[in-house]
Amino acid sequence: MMEMRCVRCGLTPDQIPEYVAAAQAETEMGEPMTPNDYVAEEEGTLNQLTGLFACTACYIAMGQPSGPHGWTP
């Protein structure tokens, strides 16, 4: 997979406080996790082929796009 990056703002998971905090919480619970790991496992908008996803703020700003089979950038 290519580098993970938000399709709208261009930030990587380790630059987005929400994903940094979520990965830290998982690590504190005993599951070592990086922000990239968190996005790979939990982010429903991640396109596994391109590495693009929509962070929460951008997903909301785009109007929360959806489709009959989900939505990926």
E runs forming strands in 1-73: 5-6, 52-53
Domain extents for the chain? 5-61
Q: How do residues 10-44 score in pLDDT, each as one tens digit? A: 999 999 999 999 999 999 999 899 999 999 999 99
Do residues 5 and 51 touch, judged by C-beta distance below 8 A? yes
Residue 1 above 80 pLDDT? no
Q: pTM for the whole thing?
A: 0.89
